[in-house]
Amino acid sequence: MEWKRRFEEVCERLGIRSESRLLLAVSGGLDSMALLRLCCDAGLRITVLHVNFKLRGADSDADQALVETRCRALGVECRSQVLPVDKNTLKDGLQAEARRLRYAWFDEMMAATGADHLLTAHHLDDRLETFFIHLLRGAGVRGLASIPERNGYILRPLLGFSRAELEAYAETTGLQWREDASNASDAYLRNRIRHRLVPELLDLSPDALKAAGRSMDFLTEADEFITRGADDFAKAHLTPMPHGMSRLPISALKHLDQHRTLAKYFFQNLGFGPEDMAAVLDLLDSPSGKMAEGSRLDAWRDRESVVFAPSEPPPQAPVLLTETEGEITEPFPFAWSVGPDGAEQESAEAESAALASGKLTFPLVLRPWAPGDRFVPSGMKGSKKLSDFLTDLKLSVPEKRYVWVLCSGEDICLVVGHRTDERYVWKGKGAVLRLQCFPTFG
Protein backbone atom coordinates (compact mmCIF):
# COMPACT_ATOMS: atom_id res chain seq x y z
CA MET A 1 0.00 0.00 0.00
CA GLU A 2 2.91 2.35 0.70
CA TRP A 3 4.11 2.07 -2.91
CA LYS A 4 0.64 2.64 -4.32
CA ARG A 5 0.03 5.63 -2.04
CA ARG A 6 3.35 7.29 -2.95
CA PHE A 7 2.75 6.77 -6.63
CA GLU A 8 -0.81 8.10 -6.50
CA GLU A 9 0.37 11.21 -4.66
CA VAL A 10 2.87 11.89 -7.44
CA CYS A 11 0.21 11.34 -10.09
CA GLU A 12 -2.13 13.78 -8.37
CA ARG A 13 0.61 16.41 -8.25
CA LEU A 14 1.37 15.92 -11.94
CA GLY A 15 -2.30 16.19 -12.90
CA ILE A 16 -2.66 12.52 -13.88
CA ARG A 17 -6.28 11.49 -13.37
CA SER A 18 -8.11 8.18 -13.64
CA GLU A 19 -9.73 9.44 -16.86
CA SER A 20 -6.41 10.60 -18.39
CA ARG A 21 -5.37 8.80 -21.58
CA LEU A 22 -1.77 7.76 -21.11
CA LEU A 23 0.97 6.22 -23.20
CA LEU A 24 3.61 4.32 -21.24
CA ALA A 25 7.12 3.68 -22.60
CA VAL A 26 8.18 0.19 -21.48
CA SER A 27 11.55 -1.32 -22.40
CA GLY A 28 11.29 -4.47 -20.28
CA GLY A 29 13.82 -3.26 -17.71
CA LEU A 30 13.26 -2.93 -13.98
CA ASP A 31 12.16 0.70 -13.92
CA SER A 32 9.64 0.56 -16.76
CA MET A 33 8.17 -2.79 -15.65
CA ALA A 34 7.73 -1.33 -12.16
CA LEU A 35 5.99 1.71 -13.65
CA LEU A 36 3.69 -0.56 -15.64
CA ARG A 37 2.67 -2.42 -12.47
CA LEU A 38 2.17 0.80 -10.49
CA CYS A 39 -0.01 2.28 -13.24
CA CYS A 40 -2.18 -0.82 -13.30
CA ASP A 41 -2.51 -0.90 -9.52
CA ALA A 42 -3.56 2.77 -9.62
CA GLY A 43 -6.25 1.99 -12.21
CA LEU A 44 -4.82 4.33 -14.88
CA ARG A 45 -5.84 4.14 -18.56
CA ILE A 46 -2.61 3.20 -20.32
CA THR A 47 -1.38 1.98 -23.68
CA VAL A 48 2.12 0.50 -23.57
CA LEU A 49 4.69 1.44 -26.22
CA HIS A 50 7.72 -0.79 -26.77
CA VAL A 51 10.56 -0.17 -29.24
CA ASN A 52 12.77 -2.98 -30.54
CA PHE A 53 15.94 -1.60 -32.09
CA LYS A 54 17.24 -5.07 -33.03
CA LEU A 55 20.61 -4.14 -31.52
CA ARG A 56 21.04 -7.23 -29.31
CA GLY A 57 19.63 -9.93 -31.52
CA ALA A 58 17.63 -12.54 -29.60
CA ASP A 59 17.86 -10.48 -26.41
CA SER A 60 16.01 -7.59 -28.06
CA ASP A 61 13.27 -9.97 -29.21
CA ALA A 62 13.08 -11.47 -25.70
CA ASP A 63 12.56 -7.97 -24.25
CA GLN A 64 9.68 -7.42 -26.64
CA ALA A 65 8.17 -10.82 -25.83
CA LEU A 66 8.28 -10.14 -22.08
CA VAL A 67 6.55 -6.76 -22.43
CA GLU A 68 3.85 -8.12 -24.72
CA THR A 69 3.24 -11.18 -22.53
CA ARG A 70 2.98 -9.10 -19.38
CA CYS A 71 0.58 -6.65 -21.04
CA ARG A 72 -1.69 -9.50 -22.13
CA ALA A 73 -1.73 -10.82 -18.57
CA LEU A 74 -2.66 -7.38 -17.26
CA GLY A 75 -5.23 -6.72 -19.97
CA VAL A 76 -3.28 -3.69 -21.22
CA GLU A 77 -3.02 -2.68 -24.87
CA CYS A 78 0.56 -2.94 -26.13
CA ARG A 79 1.98 -1.51 -29.34
CA SER A 80 5.44 -2.67 -30.34
CA GLN A 81 7.51 -1.06 -33.07
CA VAL A 82 10.68 -2.38 -34.70
CA LEU A 83 13.05 0.51 -35.45
CA PRO A 84 16.38 -0.89 -36.67
CA VAL A 85 19.32 1.47 -36.18
CA ASP A 86 21.66 1.77 -39.17
CA LYS A 87 25.10 1.81 -37.55
CA ASN A 88 26.68 2.95 -40.81
CA THR A 89 24.87 6.29 -40.87
CA LEU A 90 25.33 7.41 -37.28
CA LYS A 91 26.28 11.05 -36.69
CA ASP A 92 25.90 11.52 -32.95
CA GLY A 93 26.40 7.98 -31.64
CA LEU A 94 24.28 4.88 -31.27
CA GLN A 95 22.37 5.93 -28.16
CA ALA A 96 21.56 9.38 -29.56
CA GLU A 97 20.19 7.89 -32.78
CA ALA A 98 18.12 5.32 -30.90
CA ARG A 99 16.69 8.07 -28.72
CA ARG A 100 15.85 10.18 -31.78
CA LEU A 101 14.01 7.30 -33.44
CA ARG A 102 12.21 6.38 -30.22
CA TYR A 103 10.88 9.85 -29.50
CA ALA A 104 9.94 10.45 -33.14
CA TRP A 105 7.69 7.38 -32.89
CA PHE A 106 6.35 8.58 -29.55
CA ASP A 107 5.40 11.87 -31.22
CA GLU A 108 3.53 9.94 -33.91
CA MET A 109 1.71 7.83 -31.34
CA MET A 110 0.70 10.87 -29.30
CA ALA A 111 -0.87 12.36 -32.41
CA ALA A 112 -2.46 9.09 -33.53
CA THR A 113 -4.01 8.18 -30.17
CA GLY A 114 -4.92 11.62 -28.83
CA ALA A 115 -3.27 10.70 -25.53
CA ASP A 116 -2.87 13.32 -22.81
CA HIS A 117 0.61 12.32 -21.67
CA LEU A 118 3.49 9.93 -22.24
CA LEU A 119 4.95 8.42 -19.06
CA THR A 120 8.58 7.35 -18.92
CA ALA A 121 10.27 5.46 -16.07
CA HIS A 122 13.32 7.64 -15.36
CA HIS A 123 14.16 7.44 -11.66
CA LEU A 124 16.31 9.26 -9.13
CA ASP A 125 19.53 7.42 -10.04
CA ASP A 126 19.02 8.37 -13.70
CA ARG A 127 18.60 11.97 -12.64
CA LEU A 128 21.84 12.02 -10.65
CA GLU A 129 23.78 10.35 -13.49
CA THR A 130 22.44 12.94 -15.93
CA PHE A 131 23.45 15.72 -13.52
CA PHE A 132 27.07 14.55 -13.63
CA ILE A 133 27.00 14.14 -17.41
CA HIS A 134 25.80 17.72 -17.77
CA LEU A 135 28.28 18.93 -15.14
CA LEU A 136 31.17 17.46 -17.12
CA ARG A 137 29.88 19.21 -20.24
CA GLY A 138 29.75 22.62 -18.56
CA ALA A 139 25.97 22.92 -18.42
CA GLY A 140 24.15 25.86 -16.88
CA VAL A 141 21.24 25.93 -14.44
CA ARG A 142 18.83 24.11 -16.76
CA GLY A 143 21.30 21.32 -17.50
CA LEU A 144 22.25 20.85 -13.84
CA ALA A 145 18.58 20.65 -12.91
CA SER A 146 18.93 17.37 -14.81
CA ILE A 147 15.90 15.40 -15.95
CA PRO A 148 12.67 17.40 -15.47
CA GLU A 149 9.60 15.76 -14.03
CA ARG A 150 7.53 17.39 -16.76
CA ASN A 151 8.68 18.18 -20.29
CA GLY A 152 5.87 19.01 -22.69
CA TYR A 153 3.66 15.95 -23.01
CA ILE A 154 6.22 13.77 -21.17
CA LEU A 155 5.76 13.05 -17.46
CA ARG A 156 8.22 11.14 -15.27
CA PRO A 157 6.42 10.02 -12.10
CA LEU A 158 9.30 7.89 -10.78
CA LEU A 159 11.92 10.63 -10.46
CA GLY A 160 11.53 10.58 -6.68
CA PHE A 161 12.16 6.80 -6.49
CA SER A 162 15.69 5.39 -6.30
CA ARG A 163 16.73 2.24 -8.12
CA ALA A 164 17.20 0.53 -4.74
CA GLU A 165 13.58 1.34 -3.88
CA LEU A 166 12.39 -0.03 -7.23
CA GLU A 167 14.39 -3.22 -6.64
CA ALA A 168 12.72 -3.59 -3.24
CA TYR A 169 9.33 -3.03 -4.87
CA ALA A 170 10.12 -5.69 -7.49
CA GLU A 171 11.09 -8.19 -4.81
CA THR A 172 7.95 -7.45 -2.80
CA THR A 173 5.62 -7.86 -5.79
CA GLY A 174 7.46 -10.68 -7.59
CA LEU A 175 8.03 -8.41 -10.58
CA GLN A 176 9.73 -9.85 -13.67
CA TRP A 177 12.07 -7.79 -15.85
CA ARG A 178 15.04 -8.16 -18.15
CA GLU A 179 18.46 -6.61 -17.63
CA ASP A 180 20.15 -5.03 -20.65
CA ALA A 181 23.65 -6.52 -20.81
CA SER A 182 25.02 -3.21 -22.14
CA ASN A 183 24.29 -1.67 -18.72
CA ALA A 184 27.29 -3.59 -17.35
CA SER A 185 29.71 -2.10 -19.89
CA ASP A 186 31.82 0.94 -19.03
CA ALA A 187 32.00 1.92 -22.70
CA TYR A 188 29.41 4.62 -22.07
CA LEU A 189 29.97 7.66 -19.86
CA ARG A 190 26.67 7.12 -18.06
CA ASN A 191 27.69 3.60 -17.04
CA ARG A 192 31.08 4.78 -15.76
CA ILE A 193 29.33 7.37 -13.61
CA ARG A 194 26.85 4.71 -12.41
CA HIS A 195 29.52 2.11 -11.57
CA ARG A 196 32.32 4.32 -10.25
CA LEU A 197 31.24 7.80 -9.22
CA VAL A 198 27.82 7.21 -7.66
CA PRO A 199 28.98 4.38 -5.33
CA GLU A 200 31.80 6.62 -4.06
CA LEU A 201 29.27 9.37 -3.42
CA LEU A 202 27.00 7.02 -1.50
CA ASP A 203 29.96 5.86 0.57
CA LEU A 204 30.43 9.46 1.71
CA SER A 205 26.81 9.72 2.82
CA PRO A 206 23.97 7.18 2.72
CA ASP A 207 21.56 10.07 2.10
CA ALA A 208 23.61 11.49 -0.77
CA LEU A 209 21.15 10.38 -3.43
CA LYS A 210 18.08 11.98 -1.87
CA ALA A 211 20.06 15.07 -0.87
CA ALA A 212 21.23 15.46 -4.46
CA GLY A 213 17.62 15.08 -5.55
CA ARG A 214 16.63 18.01 -3.33
CA SER A 215 19.47 20.09 -4.75
CA MET A 216 18.29 19.33 -8.28
CA ASP A 217 14.78 20.31 -7.22
CA PHE A 218 16.16 23.70 -6.12
CA LEU A 219 17.91 24.05 -9.48
CA THR A 220 14.65 23.19 -11.23
CA GLU A 221 12.90 25.96 -9.30
CA ALA A 222 15.68 28.37 -10.26
CA ASP A 223 15.37 27.31 -13.89
CA GLU A 224 11.62 27.90 -13.82
CA PHE A 225 12.12 31.31 -12.19
CA ILE A 226 14.62 32.45 -14.82
CA THR A 227 12.45 31.03 -17.59
CA ARG A 228 9.52 33.14 -16.39
CA GLY A 229 11.81 36.15 -16.20
CA ALA A 230 12.98 35.63 -19.79
CA ASP A 231 9.40 35.21 -20.99
CA ASP A 232 8.31 38.37 -19.17
CA PHE A 233 11.29 40.26 -20.59
CA ALA A 234 10.39 39.17 -24.12
CA LYS A 235 6.76 40.24 -23.66
CA ALA A 236 7.86 43.63 -22.41
CA HIS A 237 10.59 44.40 -24.96
CA LEU A 238 10.37 42.14 -28.03
CA THR A 239 7.96 43.55 -30.63
CA PRO A 240 6.54 41.04 -33.15
CA MET A 241 6.82 41.95 -36.83
CA PRO A 242 5.45 40.39 -40.01
CA HIS A 243 7.20 37.44 -41.68
CA GLY A 244 8.40 35.88 -38.43
CA MET A 245 10.55 38.87 -37.49
CA SER A 246 10.77 40.77 -34.22
CA ARG A 247 12.48 43.91 -32.93
CA LEU A 248 14.40 44.49 -29.68
CA PRO A 249 15.47 48.00 -28.58
CA ILE A 250 19.17 48.53 -28.01
CA SER A 251 18.36 49.64 -24.46
CA ALA A 252 16.91 46.17 -23.80
CA LEU A 253 19.95 44.52 -25.37
CA LYS A 254 22.18 46.53 -23.01
CA HIS A 255 20.15 45.20 -20.07
CA LEU A 256 20.72 41.64 -21.29
CA ASP A 257 24.43 42.34 -21.62
CA GLN A 258 24.47 43.18 -17.91
CA HIS A 259 22.42 40.12 -16.89
CA ARG A 260 24.01 37.23 -18.73
CA THR A 261 21.98 34.43 -17.13
CA LEU A 262 18.74 36.09 -18.19
CA ALA A 263 20.30 36.69 -21.60
CA LYS A 264 21.10 32.98 -22.06
CA TYR A 265 17.47 32.03 -21.49
CA PHE A 266 16.14 34.85 -23.65
CA PHE A 267 18.39 34.06 -26.59
CA GLN A 268 17.94 30.31 -26.23
CA ASN A 269 14.23 30.83 -26.91
CA LEU A 270 15.22 32.52 -30.18
CA GLY A 271 17.55 29.69 -31.18
CA PHE A 272 20.85 31.34 -30.21
CA GLY A 273 23.35 29.23 -28.26
CA PRO A 274 25.99 30.66 -25.86
CA GLU A 275 28.49 31.41 -28.63
CA ASP A 276 25.78 32.87 -30.87
CA MET A 277 24.59 35.00 -27.94
CA ALA A 278 28.01 36.59 -27.61
CA ALA A 279 27.87 37.60 -31.28
CA VAL A 280 24.43 39.19 -30.79
CA LEU A 281 25.63 41.15 -27.76
CA ASP A 282 28.58 42.37 -29.87
CA LEU A 283 26.00 44.17 -32.03
CA LEU A 284 25.85 46.77 -29.25
CA ASP A 285 29.06 48.26 -30.67
CA SER A 286 28.30 47.55 -34.35
CA PRO A 287 26.96 49.79 -37.12
CA SER A 288 23.57 49.29 -38.76
CA GLY A 289 23.54 46.38 -41.17
CA LYS A 290 25.84 44.15 -39.09
CA MET A 291 24.49 40.62 -38.67
CA ALA A 292 24.96 37.78 -36.16
CA GLU A 293 23.88 34.27 -37.15
CA GLY A 294 21.73 31.91 -35.12
CA SER A 295 20.39 28.41 -35.75
CA ARG A 296 17.02 29.57 -37.13
CA LEU A 297 17.09 33.37 -36.79
CA ASP A 298 19.70 35.98 -37.63
CA ALA A 299 20.11 39.19 -35.64
CA TRP A 300 20.60 42.47 -37.51
CA ARG A 301 21.72 45.78 -36.00
CA ASP A 302 19.30 48.45 -37.20
CA ARG A 303 19.88 51.92 -35.79
CA GLU A 304 18.63 51.84 -32.17
CA SER A 305 17.33 48.27 -32.28
CA VAL A 306 18.14 44.70 -33.27
CA VAL A 307 15.88 42.91 -35.73
CA PHE A 308 15.58 39.12 -35.51
CA ALA A 309 14.68 37.59 -38.87
CA PRO A 310 14.41 34.05 -40.29
CA SER A 311 17.74 32.77 -41.60
CA GLU A 312 16.09 31.22 -44.64
CA PRO A 313 15.45 33.82 -47.37
CA PRO A 314 11.85 34.37 -48.51
CA PRO A 315 10.55 33.03 -51.87
CA GLN A 316 11.95 35.05 -54.75
CA ALA A 317 10.24 33.71 -57.90
CA PRO A 318 8.37 36.42 -59.90
CA VAL A 319 4.62 36.00 -60.48
CA LEU A 320 2.86 36.88 -63.74
CA LEU A 321 -0.60 38.47 -63.48
CA THR A 322 -2.01 37.55 -66.87
CA GLU A 323 -5.70 38.21 -66.23
CA THR A 324 -7.42 41.47 -65.29
CA GLU A 325 -8.81 39.84 -62.15
CA GLY A 326 -7.42 37.28 -59.77
CA GLU A 327 -6.04 36.37 -56.37
CA ILE A 328 -2.87 34.68 -55.14
CA THR A 329 -1.66 33.53 -51.71
CA GLU A 330 2.06 33.16 -52.45
CA PRO A 331 4.45 34.84 -51.90
CA PHE A 332 1.79 36.75 -49.92
CA PRO A 333 -1.97 37.37 -50.20
CA PHE A 334 -2.60 39.64 -53.18
CA ALA A 335 -5.86 40.33 -55.04
CA TRP A 336 -6.61 42.54 -58.04
CA SER A 337 -9.52 43.42 -60.28
CA VAL A 338 -10.31 45.99 -62.98
CA GLY A 339 -13.42 48.05 -62.37
CA PRO A 340 -15.32 50.77 -64.31
CA ASP A 341 -14.57 54.45 -63.95
CA GLY A 342 -16.55 56.82 -61.79
CA ALA A 343 -16.05 54.98 -58.48
CA GLU A 344 -14.85 56.71 -55.36
CA GLN A 345 -11.06 57.06 -55.31
CA GLU A 346 -9.30 54.78 -52.84
CA SER A 347 -6.05 55.18 -51.01
CA ALA A 348 -2.92 54.59 -53.04
CA GLU A 349 -0.94 53.44 -50.04
CA ALA A 350 -0.59 50.61 -47.52
CA GLU A 351 -2.88 47.60 -47.87
CA SER A 352 -4.96 48.91 -50.78
CA ALA A 353 -4.02 50.70 -53.98
CA ALA A 354 -5.75 51.99 -57.09
CA LEU A 355 -3.93 52.16 -60.42
CA ALA A 356 -5.01 53.72 -63.70
CA SER A 357 -5.89 50.58 -65.61
CA GLY A 358 -5.65 52.24 -69.02
CA LYS A 359 -1.97 52.90 -68.51
CA LEU A 360 -1.14 49.30 -67.66
CA THR A 361 0.04 46.58 -70.03
CA PHE A 362 -0.79 42.99 -69.10
CA PRO A 363 0.68 40.68 -68.09
CA LEU A 364 1.86 42.53 -65.01
CA VAL A 365 4.88 41.19 -63.15
CA LEU A 366 5.05 40.90 -59.37
CA ARG A 367 8.67 40.47 -58.30
CA PRO A 368 11.15 41.24 -55.50
CA TRP A 369 12.77 44.63 -55.81
CA ALA A 370 16.32 44.71 -57.13
CA PRO A 371 19.31 47.07 -56.86
CA GLY A 372 19.08 49.69 -59.58
CA ASP A 373 15.26 49.85 -59.51
CA ARG A 374 13.82 53.33 -59.87
CA PHE A 375 10.29 54.70 -59.69
CA VAL A 376 8.41 58.00 -59.25
CA PRO A 377 6.91 58.03 -55.72
CA SER A 378 3.36 59.37 -55.71
CA GLY A 379 3.29 63.11 -55.06
CA MET A 380 6.73 63.62 -56.64
CA LYS A 381 7.82 64.62 -60.13
CA GLY A 382 11.22 63.05 -60.48
CA SER A 383 12.32 59.43 -60.19
CA LYS A 384 14.05 58.04 -57.14
CA LYS A 385 16.21 55.00 -56.50
CA LEU A 386 14.09 52.40 -54.77
CA SER A 387 17.00 51.60 -52.46
CA ASP A 388 17.05 55.23 -51.29
CA PHE A 389 13.28 55.20 -50.87
CA LEU A 390 13.46 52.11 -48.63
CA THR A 391 16.26 53.68 -46.63
CA ASP A 392 14.10 56.77 -46.12
CA LEU A 393 11.39 54.46 -44.77
CA LYS A 394 14.01 53.26 -42.26
CA LEU A 395 13.52 49.63 -43.20
CA SER A 396 16.15 47.26 -41.83
CA VAL A 397 18.14 44.93 -44.07
CA PRO A 398 15.90 41.89 -43.39
CA GLU A 399 12.72 43.95 -43.88
CA LYS A 400 13.94 44.97 -47.33
CA ARG A 401 14.07 41.29 -48.30
CA TYR A 402 10.28 41.24 -48.22
CA VAL A 403 9.69 44.26 -50.45
CA TRP A 404 8.05 43.45 -53.78
CA VAL A 405 7.16 45.61 -56.75
CA LEU A 406 4.41 45.39 -59.36
CA CYS A 407 5.66 46.16 -62.86
CA SER A 408 3.98 47.09 -66.12
CA GLY A 409 6.53 46.52 -68.83
CA GLU A 410 9.78 48.06 -67.60
CA ASP A 411 8.05 50.46 -65.20
CA ILE A 412 7.48 49.92 -61.51
CA CYS A 413 3.88 50.98 -60.95
CA LEU A 414 3.63 49.97 -57.27
CA VAL A 415 6.00 49.29 -54.38
CA VAL A 416 3.70 46.80 -52.72
CA GLY A 417 2.47 47.92 -49.33
CA HIS A 418 4.35 51.22 -49.48
CA ARG A 419 3.87 53.59 -52.42
CA THR A 420 2.28 53.88 -55.86
CA ASP A 421 4.24 55.27 -58.81
CA GLU A 422 2.95 58.77 -59.61
CA ARG A 423 2.60 57.90 -63.31
CA TYR A 424 0.11 55.13 -62.52
CA VAL A 425 -1.94 56.69 -59.73
CA TRP A 426 -5.67 56.51 -60.53
CA LYS A 427 -7.02 60.07 -60.48
CA GLY A 428 -10.70 59.18 -60.25
CA LYS A 429 -11.38 58.93 -63.96
CA GLY A 430 -11.16 55.97 -66.33
CA ALA A 431 -10.96 52.29 -65.54
CA VAL A 432 -9.27 51.41 -62.27
CA LEU A 433 -7.21 48.45 -61.18
CA ARG A 434 -7.97 47.87 -57.53
CA LEU A 435 -5.41 46.00 -55.43
CA GLN A 436 -5.48 44.43 -52.01
CA CYS A 437 -2.02 43.51 -50.76
CA PHE A 438 -0.87 42.47 -47.28
CA PRO A 439 2.92 42.20 -47.05
CA THR A 440 3.21 45.47 -45.14
CA PHE A 441 5.37 46.11 -42.10
CA GLY A 442 2.60 47.62 -40.01
> Which secondary structure element, helix H or strand E, spans residue 244, and what is its range?
none
Q: In the chain, what percentage of residues exceed pLDDT 70?
A: 95
**What average pLDDT is seen over the chain?**
91
Q: How confident is residue 442, by pLDDT bands cut at 50, 70 and 90?
A: very low
Which pLDDT does position 183 carry in this prediction?
76
Residues 82-109: what's their mean pLDDT?
A: 84
Mean pLDDT of 264-269: 95
CA distance from start to end of the chain: 62
pLDDT at 376 over 50: yes
Please give the CATH topology (third level) of the domain spanning 238-310: 3.30.465
Q: Per mean pLDDT, which range of 109-118, 144-153, 196-205, 428-437 is the poorest?
A: 428-437
Per-residue pLDDT band for 351 (boundaries 50, 70, 90) equals low
Would you kindly state where each structural domain of the chain is located, as residue ranges? 2-221, 238-310, 319-437
Three-state SS at 67? helix
- Asked whether the beta carbons of 342 and 354 are under 8 A apart, the reply is no
- Distance, CA of 218 to CA of 209 (rounded, Å): 14
Q: Which CATH class is domain 319-437?
A: alpha beta
The average pLDDT across 292-299 equals 94
Give per-residue pLDDT as tens, 155-213. Answer: 999 999 999 999 999 999 999 999 887 777 787 888 999 999 999 998 999 899 999 99
What local confidence, expressed as pLDDT, does residue 331 receive? 85
Can you give the pLDDT at residue 245?
Answer: 95
Domains 2-221 and 319-437 share a fold: no
Q: Where are the beta strands (DSSP E) in 362-427?
A: 364-368, 374-375, 384-385, 404-408, 411-415, 419-420
223 φ/ψ angles, rounded to the nearest 5 degrees: -60, -45
pLDDT for 101 beyond 50? yes
Give the span between the Cα atoms of 157 and 214, in whole angstroms: 16
Contact 355, 426 (CB under 8 A): yes
3-state helix, strand, coil in the chain (%, to 5): 45, 20, 35
Predicted confidence at residue 91, as pLDDT, reads: 67
Confidence of residue 88 (pLDDT cuts 50, 70, 90): low
62-71, 177-186, 327-336: lowest mean pLDDT where?
A: 177-186
CATH node for 2-221: 3.40.50.620
